[in-house]
Each structure stands twice: as structure tokens, then as C-alpha cells.
């Protein structure tokens, strides 16, 4: 992907600028839209935002980038992904299509364990190359920040290997990476009849090593019937908190196991999946301000119908974010805008709620206060879409509308650039 940069420039001729900023948001303008807008970027940060008629004279001297009447939003944020893995599981997918459930495949040693076997055998270089490939793909969709998990190693050494790959990608890949340690993704085959011993290994050996390595920002646990139970998850997350890691959970994906309640008890930042969450779980999350991360690509990919209950979540005044869950098993799709389009269609998730779910609120769910909105002083992570308005991004599905992508003020040109609405 080509890269261009100029440290100070004006981006003008923006037909629709969705700022997501409190400065412009009001009940009739929930996305803080400014029409006929311009903005000034300097040293990777947004320095001025407004209507182009109010652009200060002095900024008119600067290098000018023509947005050609694009729709512009903050860079999209994918707050839940598993991009560091080896191998593929298309055979299991075909089996699932023939009616074998995901949980059954997992119970007989397939699923996550199959990817663990391939990932353990892969070199760091191989993992780096494939993850970088997926991240470049995401960037082309306008995704500029990606939370990315380990969890396909399940030994101290191979979890560290995955995190090390994420550390390299933090330096080299265009989207910014937020690394998460997910040693509690599955019980490795060698511990299948000694589950508590694996929990002890995570607490006594993996977490100290992960903390010393210093790459992971979050610790995650797959808290679910058949995987880590509430007590095991609590033990791991409490220890992780001692090491200064922020907490999040894979929770209540298949059945209401008390995982959402645990997230609230431990003041987790976010709680993800929630297809089977109980009302009590949602109420506890609301009390503690735990953010709900909804992953409908997984529901679709697993052929299920029970999408996470977003209406109840919004009624409970939870912040709700949308993420891809990109992984080689339950959601083999790294295309967050496509998942947003399908969420609109299948869940009636409306554009004015979907856009914050992948920008401003997604940033909050990663505890990043320097992005997710278009405001003076924030990072210039920007996507220019070839579309006539925000609704169009979700209406015309299966098409990549991202046209130009800026990460911290640097442009990365998606290779597919075709114009229909911009000129
Ligand atoms: O988020 N739910 C647990 N973990 C992943 C699945 C990973 C896999 O199947 O490889 C998920 O859906
Ligand atoms: Fe996941």
C-alpha cells in the first residue's frame, strides 16, 4: 500500500464530516455532522475543524488536499480480533454446514485447539507475515486501530511469541495495535484433564512473563460453559489486574454463565459477545459502566439467530460497540464495514448508533482518549468514503466505500480506489 505524507495540510471539500464530537452533537445531529467542512492536520494531529467558509486565512497558505466531496469519519476501530494465527479450518466449516455444532467440534479437540497446533508449529516470522497481511486488509476498509489477541499458543513461550509478533506489528503495521493476552482462550490438550493446573500455570508463570515482556495492555478470558468457569476466570483476571493489565472477557456467547456479572464485579472495561447474556448480567454491567462489545459476524458465521440483545443494552444505557472478532474459526471475516452493513440489515442496528460503535465508543472500549472523534488535539485518523452520506455506508452492502485512509495524518491509499460519488 502506497504511503504519502505531509506534516501540515488542510483537507477541504468534505461534503459530510461526521465528527462524533460533543462540540457538534445535539439531538437533531447525533453524529456531530458538519457539512461542507475542512480540517487542518499538523504533526499527525487535528488542529482545526469547521465549516470550510470559516477556514482561517492563514491556513489557506498550507498544502491542500481535496477530499472531492467525500464523506469523512474518524478512523474505524476494530476492538476485538484474533489476527495472529496459522493454518485454516475450512474443513470444520463444511462440517458445521452439515449440522455439527461449533461446541461439539471443540469438545472433540478441533476448533481453537486445531489452530493452537498450527500456531505453535509456526515461526514468529510466518505469524508476523500473515497477521500483517490481515492488518493491511483491514486498513483498506478504513480500520485504523485494531485490538489484537494472543490465545493460540497456550504455553508461556508460544503466547509470548504471539505477543512479540504484536509488538513488532505495533511498530511496522499501519493500523495501531492494542495487544491483549488471551492465554485463557482454551485448555490445551496436554491439560485437558487438569484444568485447574492450567489456570495455575496462567497465574503463576504466564502472567508474570507477559507483564515482564510489557507488550499486552489487556487480559481477556473465554468465560463460558465448557471453557473457563466463573471461578477460574476470576482467579486469572484478579491476578492480571495485579500486574496492571486492563480486563475484558469473552462472555455469555453460548449460554448465560454469569460471565457478564463477573465483568461487572471486577470492573472490566468491556465484555464481549453477550449473545446469551441474562437481564441480571446487563443490569450489573450498566451499574458499573462496563462496555458491551457485540460481534454479529460470529453469530452469522456460526449460523445462529440469537444476535446480542442490542435494544435491551441501549435501554439499559450501556455503551455498545461493534467489532469483527476476526479469527480462523467462528468469524473468518476481517471486514468490519461489511459486518456493520449486515448488522444494520439483520439486527436493525441504525446508522446513528452503528457509527459511534466503531469510532468514538470503540475508542472508549480500548481506553484510548486520543482518537475516535474528529476534534482539535486528537489523532488525525480519518477515512474518506466514496458515498453521498452516512446512511449510504450501511445501505450499499458488500462494497468497500473506503476511498482514502489517514493514520495519524499519514495517508495510506487502499488499492481498490474507484470513484462513483466523488470526482
Ligand atoms: O471469539 N469464543 C472464543 N474465541 C473465538 C473463537 C476462536 C476460534 O474458533 O478459533 C471467538 O469467537
Ligand atoms: Fe473472540
pLDDT of 166 > 60? The answer is yes
Buried (b) or exposed (e) across 334-349, using 16+ Cβ within 10 A?
bbbbbbbbbbbeebeb
Other beta carbons within 10 angstroms of residue 22's beta carbon come to: 11
Q: How far apart are CA 398 and CA 207, in angstroms?
A: 41
Confidence of residue 347 (pLDDT cuts 50, 70, 90): very high
**If 0-12 CB within 10 Å is exposed, 13-18 middle and 19+ buried, where does residue 234 land?**
middle
CA dihedral for 324, 247, 288, 250, sign (positive or negative): positive
Q: Do 407 and 383 contact (CB within 8 A), yes or no?
A: no
R_g of the chain, CA atoms, integer Å? 21
Task: Pick from 83, 106, 329, 332 the residue to mutate for probing ligand 1's pocket: most ligand atoms within 8 Å of its CB.
Answer: 329
In the chain, what percentage of residues exceed pLDDT 90?
94
Q: Do 50 and 38 contact (CB within 8 A), yes or no?
A: yes
The whole-number pLDDT of residue 10 equals 98
The whole-number pLDDT of residue 282 equals 98
The whole-number pLDDT of residue 413 equals 65
| DSSP codes of every residue in 75-142 | PEEE--B-----S--HHHHHHHHTT--HHHHHHTT-THHHHHHHHHHS-HHHHHHHHHHHHHHHHHTT
Task: Pick from 296, 327, 334 the residue to mutate for probing ligand 1's pocket: most ligand atoms within 8 Å of its CB.
Answer: 327
Read off the C-alpha cell for 378: 486528537
pLDDT of 319 > 90? The answer is yes
Tell how far the Cα of 337 is from the centroid of ligand 1, in angstroms. Answer: 20
The whole-number pLDDT of residue 422 equals 60
Read off the C-alpha cell for 230: 466463573
Tell how far the Cα of 180 is from the centroid of ligand 1, in angstroms. Answer: 14
Q: Which atom of ligand 1 is nearest to the CA of 273?
A: 1
What would the pLDDT profile of 218-274 be if each residue is shown by its tens digit?
999 999 999 999 999 999 999 999 999 999 999 999 999 999 999 999 999 999 999
Confidence of residue 2 (pLDDT cuts 50, 70, 90): very low
Between 5 and 402, residue with greater pLDDT: 402
The whole-number pLDDT of residue 107 equals 86
Q: Do 172 and 160 contact (CB within 8 A), yes or no?
A: no
Amino acid at each position: 500500500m502506497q504511503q504519502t505524507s505531509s506534516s501540515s495540510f488542510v483537507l477541504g471539500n468534505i461534503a459530510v464530516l461526521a465528527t462524533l464530537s460533543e462540540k457538534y452533537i445535539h439531538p437533531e445531529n447525533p453524529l456531530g455532522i458538519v457539512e461542507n467542512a475542512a480540517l487542518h492536520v499538523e504533526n499527525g494531529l487535528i488542529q482545526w475543524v469547521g465549516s470550510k467558509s470559516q477556514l482561517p486565512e492563514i491556513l489557506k497558505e498550507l498544502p491542500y488536499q481535496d477530499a472531492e466531496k467525500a464523506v469523512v469519519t474518524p478512523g474505524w476501530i476494530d476492538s476485538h480480533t484474533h489476527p495472529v494465527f496459522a493454518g485454516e479450518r475450512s474443513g470444520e466449516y463444511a462440517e458445521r454446514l452439515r449440522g455439527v455444532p461449533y461446541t461439539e467440534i471443540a469438545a472433540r479437540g478441533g476448533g481453537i485447539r486445531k489452530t493452537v497446533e498450527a500456531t505453535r508449529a509456526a515461526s514468529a516470522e510466518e505469524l508476523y507475515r500473515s497477521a500483517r497481511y490481515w492488518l493491511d486488509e483491514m486498513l483498506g476498509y478504513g480500520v485504523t486501530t485494531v485490538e489484537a489477541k494472543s490465545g493460540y499458543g497456550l504455553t508461556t513461550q508460544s503466547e509470548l511469541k504471539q505477543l512479540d509478533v504484536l509488538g513488532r506489528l505495533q511498530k511496522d503495521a499501519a493500523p495501531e495495535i492494542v495487544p491483549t493476552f488471551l492465554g485463557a482462550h482454551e485448555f490445551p490438550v496436554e491439560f485437558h484433564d487438569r484444568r485447574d493446573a492450567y489456570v495455575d500455570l496462567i497465574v503463576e508463570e504466564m502472567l508474570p512473563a507477559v507483564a515482564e515482556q510489557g507488550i499486552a495492555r489487556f487480559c481477556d478470558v473465554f468465560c463460558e460453559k465448557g471453557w473457563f468457569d466463573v471461578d477460574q476466570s476470576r482467579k486469572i483476571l484478579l491476578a492480571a489486574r495485579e500486574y496492571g493489565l486492563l480486563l475484558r472477557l469473552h462472555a455469555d456467547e453460548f449460554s448465560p454463565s454469569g460471565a457478564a456479572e463477573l465483568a461487572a464485579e471486577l470492573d472490566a472495561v468491556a465484555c464481549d459477545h453477550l449473545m446469551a447474556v441474562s437481564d441480571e448480567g446487563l443490569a450489573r454491567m450498566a451499574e458499573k459502566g462496563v462496555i458491551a462489545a457485540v460481534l454479529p459476524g460470529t453469530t452469522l458465521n456460526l449460523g445462529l439467530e440469537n444476535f446480542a440483545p442490542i435494544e435491551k443494552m441501549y435501554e439499559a444505557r450501556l455503551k455498545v460497540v461493534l467489532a469483527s472478532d476476526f479469527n480462523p474459526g467462528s468469524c473468518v471475516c476481517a471486514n468490519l464495514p461489511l459486518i456493520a452493513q449486515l448488522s444494520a440489515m439483520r439486527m436493525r442496528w441504525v446508522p446513528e448508533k452503528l457509527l459511534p460503535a466503531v469510532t468514538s465508543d470503540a475508542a472508549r472500549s480500548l481506553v484510548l482518549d486520543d482518537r475516535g472523534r474528529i476534534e482539535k488535539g486528537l489523532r488525525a485518523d480519518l477515512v474518506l468514503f466514496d458515498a453521498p452520506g452516512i446512511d449510504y455506508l450501511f445501505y450499499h452492502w458488500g462494497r468497500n466505500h473506503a476511498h482514502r485512509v489517514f493514520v495519524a495524518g499519514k495517508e495510506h491509499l487502499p488499492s481498490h480506489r474507484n470513484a462513483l460519488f466523488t470526482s
